[in-house]
Structure 1
């Protein structure tokens, strides 16, 4: 049936794709509620986030104009080389290639953002549409809508349910129970932190390490990944100038760092980390890159210890085609992939854009609801599934393939 009133959309999950979709729905005159399990932004989810035209243009479509400008203002300065670059452990260049994604050129091209800053932008102006500390645990489809059950025992009803609740999605588990999550543990580059770009450190490191996305690798399997974050404008000042109602935490210039540890190093689960764990991880990283170029060792030695955390890798196996309904999934809930090519967040945001276009057409009476959701899902699968396969062949895909001839190591979790 065609909608005779604006659709009311329930969104499980307040990550990047769920929040972007919420902004787009409100912008287009629809209504929504976003149910987010976390009560605040204290959970560590990463630092510098590479952005390409998939994600950046999705933000242009979804956000109000001034919030989109704020996203650009707080993005990293365009590097001289917009590439993924592979170096030896002594900083000799092995290969490079342009970043993946659609054409991304011009003075204000998409570069990279501080993940928390982007989430703070996306959290602004949602008002009562955003419900933190309220996790969706299950749902039931009714004759003319969807009812969700929340962890606190309450319920909510809408026309559509969108599962944007991550790789462990409760919505996907019920909607597509046959889809399998493949756990890969913490492999090589699954430990992250950030090193502040102080004047003293900048004097020690070549400017090449501030370009693009860098992986340095030796022939024994150790690797260091770097991503510099130096914003176009100071983050908090940009908000005051462009969108004064938006509060953004100040962010110092930094290098996002991911580094291997020696084989056999035991990294405890996040819940078992103690005050001593970050220093142990940092020291293990330094052991793994013993003898490497002094600039790389200085970067790792300078890691801010409270910033260090581990990300257990995993991905969703691409599922067979399914029949559409009023319940759909986007982002990691639909296609969690290994983070090795920087595509996951960009494709999740692009999901929000594509679904927004379909739901807005329904709300205008131009399309039927369930067929429109099916058309989105078909479009999403066709675009995204090949990238899942590419991330699992990272060494042949990143930076022109030079990593394929170098070893790999795993960390015991």
Structure 2
């Protein structure tokens, strides 16, 4: 088999789609990334816990300076690489080591601001990243794949990668039998940010500063906290590492998701008014009124403009399928609940392994469809067991105390 450069079409400019693009460009291939949003500003979350799956995938797909920029803008190293459950006065109930492979090295993977990572992953892609261009369908033949965009235009390539999220248009055509299951996650769903000021640092117990923790009371209320405290000021980090990259300023913050008080209805995002964030923040305050005093203070300081709701859902992924020139990564393949911190990490791992297989095919070491099939088999073997774990989150996060608290509540 001859070696030749591939032209790969990527539906979706999220983390996994951009990681595929970076990795392929690094191997000498060309890409087109089609992102339906007109910019990269849509609220999708704030702090992302990173483990060795995701962090080492970034090491593989990114140029060395962009990987160094990811490390510099990650949060400082925490003392315990564990998921931790606290009670409502922030004493520890249970803990367990973070899931995934060992996370060692001089600069362990900790956590990042999602938008910052997306800006790093989109760096230097130039015109290959096409915003406001949604893939609506495709046709495949023996020689390639042609995608159709929402405006009626088309583009052709050797491979199509569906990285377009849980409601993927590519998956809907490729695996139409895969259902999306909308669901809620108890006590989690409304998110916001709290500036991590010196004053707040003085009153917040150290137990809340070690990665992502969940506190719970006997009435069923919960508070999830993830602290973002970068190793270097985010907007200054590129100056010495990658001067051609621009990152938006992001100060230290606490990402918070908190239960609302019983009887409070959280409307769908489309029905929010200007008053909704304040009403929800007030309800969160009532939910934690009897907790450690820091809980009420954290809620009180939540930035109203940062508050939004994530409508959770997951896939029941297909057991297997015959490979073709069309494949899937990340949420398009195995969207899972975010409750054990593995979704983004596994999506990046997907990207790394798909890039590796497509690079093999480009070098003539494997047939293209066979290489894609090898990626898909590996993805199913690694990602699916974690997907199953997310369906019993209370048992699998932090050593089981959440399950006991749920039974008590």
TM-score, normalization by structure 1: 0.97
Q: 2:143 is matched with which residue? A: 144
* Separation in 2, partners of 1:320, 1:326: 19
Segments of 4+ moved more than 3 angstroms: none
Contact 2:162–2:170, Cα closer than 8 Å, also in 1? yes
Match of 1:350 in 2: 349
In the other structure, the counterpart of 1:283 is 282
Question: Deviation of residue 409 (structure 1)?
Answer: 12
1:100 aligns with 2:90: no
2:406 match: secondary structure: coil
Equivalent residue of 1:275, what SS? coil
1:320, distance to aligned residue in structure 2 (A): 2.1
| Counterpart in the other structure of 2:217 | 218
Alpha-carbon distance in structure 1 between the residues aligned to 2:44 and 2:236: 24
1:65 matched to 2:72? The reply is: no
Match for residue 20 of structure 2?
21
Looking at structure 2, the residues matched to 234 and 408 of structure 1 have their Cα atoms a distance apart, in angstroms, of 43
**Deviation of 1:202 (Å):** 1.3
Task: Give the structure 1 partner of residue 127 of structure 2.
Answer: 128
Superposition deviation, residue 4 in structure 1? 4.4
Q: After TM superposition, give the deviation of residue 313 of structure 1 in Å.
A: 1.0
State the shift of 1:264 in Å: 3.5
- Correspondence 1:39-118 to 2 at 5 A: 39-118=38-117
Cα distance in 1, alignment partners of residues 384 and 282 from structure 2? 38
- The residue that corresponds to 1:314 in the other structure is 313
Q: Is the 1:19–1:123 contact (alpha carbons within 8 Å) kept by the matching residues of 2?
A: yes
CA distance in 1, matches of 2:39, 2:214: 32
Aligned pair in 2 of structure 1 residues 195, 409: CA closer, same or farther (>3 Å)? farther
**Conservation of the 8 A alpha-carbon contact between 1:188 and 1:408:** no
3-state SS of 1:406 partner:
helix
Offset at residue 261 of structure 1 (A): 1.1
Separation in structure 1 between the aligned mates of residue 227 and residue 106 of structure 2, nearest angstrom: 19
Q: Is the 8 A contact 1:316 1:336 kept in 2?
A: yes
Q: Residue 182 of structure 1 contacts residue 314 of structure 1 at CA under 8 Å; is this kept in 2? A: yes
Mean CA deviation greater in 260-269 or 23-32: 260-269
Deviation at 1:263, TM superposition (A): 3.4
How many residues are paired up?
Answer: 409
Q: Is the 8 A contact 1:187 1:409 kept in 2?
A: no
How far is the alpha carbon of 1:185 from its aligned partner? 3.8
Q: Which deviates more from structure 2 when the two are superposed, residues 285-294 or residues 50-59?
A: 285-294
Deviation at 1:200, TM superposition (A): 1.5
Distance in 2 (alpha carbons) for counterparts of 1:346 and 1:3: 33
**8 Å CA contact retained: 1:222, 1:409:** no
Deviation (angstroms), 1:91: 1.1
Q: Is the 8 A contact 2:218 2:408 kept in 1?
A: no
Name the counterpart of 1:394: 393
Instruction: Specify the SS of the correspondent of 2:236.
Output: helix
Shift of 1:212: 2.1
Two-structure CA RMSD over aligned residues (Å): 1.4
8 Å CA contact 2:334–2:383 kept in 1: the answer is: yes
Corresponding residue number in structure 1 for 2:204: 205
Structure 2: stretches of 5+ with no match in the other structure: none
Deviation at 1:208, TM superposition (A): 1.9
CA–CA separation in structure 2 for the residues paired with 1:270 and 1:263:
20
Instruction: For 1:35 and 1:318, locate their aligned partners in 2 and report how far apart those are by CA, in whole Å.
Output: 24
TM-score by length of 2: 0.98
Q: Which residue number corresponds to residue 267 of structure 1?
A: 266
Q: State the shift of 1:142 in Å.
A: 2.3
The offset of 1:407, in angstroms, is 2.1
Contact 1:3 1:362 in 2 (8 A): no
Give the 3-state SS of the residue equivalent to 1:95 in structure 2.
strand
Question: 1:34 corresponds to which residue?
Answer: 33
Q: Distance in 1 between matches of 2:43 and 2:193?
A: 12
| Cα pair 2:49 2:211 within 8 Å, conserved | no
Instruction: Note the residue ranges of structure 1 that are not aligned, 5 or more in a row.
Output: none
Q: What does the per-residue CA deviation read over 1:202-222, in whole Å, with 9 as the maximum and x for residues that have no partner?
A: 121122211121110001110
CA offset digits 1:354-386 (Å, max 9, x no partner): 000000000000000111111111110010111
Asked if 2 retains the 8 angstrom alpha-carbon contact of 1:58 and 1:353, the reply is yes
